[in-house]
Amino acid sequence: DAGVTQSPTHLIKTRGQHVTLRCSPISGHKSVSWYQQVLGQGPQFIFQYYEKEERGRGNFPDRFSARQFPNYSSELNVNALLLGDSALYLCASSLVGSGNQPQHFGDGTRLSIL
Amino acid sequence: GIQVEQSPPDLILQEGANSTLRCNFSDSVNNLQWFHQNPWGQLINLFYIPSGTKQNGRLSATTVATERYSLLYISSSQTTDSGVYFCAVRSGGSNYKLTFGKGTLLTVNP
């Protein structure tokens, strides 16, 4: 079975641009979460979606938004990119939205802002 | 929110040595996972272990939930074990997100 897949793997943008990152969960998983990992730190929670509804939001500005589609895939959108948005963006999926299920991570999208 | 502390921050071993990594957390949890992030950035699930003990080959983990800590044991380390090991937890109060520690950077030399 395929794991969590993310696209693209690498992306280079300039300040002020907009970016869309995509994630397909493991088949049968209904919850998708997004994390940002800057160099030298652990991943930081951005959003969780379950059954197409936002169930949690981390401490990120409104420039960050996301959505989940009927097939449970998800998009993360970032507007007005800043240099500080350069990071590895990780998507994770789990069977359900509650806490007692493991999360499985994709390989990430490495975003560089020039 | 919940705090997660990992120790040691850095660890250098010779191939074949054993090691123990520790994760302390500040509140009760309903999910605890150990991950290995390889040099290419891939975050690999090692254990889902909110309580008890599990073993997988040369790796094993123990979580003592009542005392709010977890241990990851690596035996007979290999150079491919190098990378960053993260502990991540979910507390009952915010059951939608994983909170990660800062990680332990493990270097295994041949």
Eight-state DSSP code of residue B8:
-
pLDDT computed for residue B95 by the predictor:
62
pLDDT computed for residue A96 by the predictor:
76
Closest residue of chain A to B98, computed from CA coordinates: A45
Q: Determine the Cα–Cα distance for residues B60 and B54; give it in Å rounded to an integer.
A: 6
Closest CA to B16 of B72, B74, B60: B74
- Output the average pLDDT for chain A: 94
Structure tokens at B47: 């254990």
Q: Does B9 touch chain A (CB under 8 A)?
A: no
Q: Does A92 touch chain B (CB under 8 A)?
A: yes
Per CB-CB distance under 8 Å, the chain B contacts of A47 are none
* pLDDT tens, N- to C-terminus, chain B (110 residues): 899 999 999 999 999 999 999 999 999 988 999 999 998 899 999 999 999 999 999 999 999 999 999 999 999 999 999 999 999 999 876 567 899 999 999 999 99
Q: Smallest CA–CA separation between A93 and chain B, in Å?
A: 11
pLDDT computed for residue B91 by the predictor:
83
DSSP-derived pairing of the beta strands B19-25 and B29-37: unpaired
Q: Does B100 touch chain A (CB under 8 A)?
A: yes
